[in-house]
Amino acid sequence: MRLLHTMLRVGDLQRSIHFYTQVLDMQLLRTTERPDQGYSLAFVGYEGNPAQAEIELTYNHGVSSYELGTAYGHIALGVADVAAACERIRQAGGTITREAGPVKGGNTIIAFVQDPDGYKIELIQRDA
Residues paired with residue 105 on neighbouring β-strands, in sequence order? none
**Is 122 among the catalytic positions?**
yes
β-pair type (27-34, 39-45): antiparallel
CA dihedral sign, ordered 109, 93, 17, 71 = positive
Residues paired with residue 119 on neighbouring β-strands, in sequence order? none
Which has the closest alpha carbon to 109: 74, 75, 88, 80? Answer: 80
> Active-site residues: which are they?
122
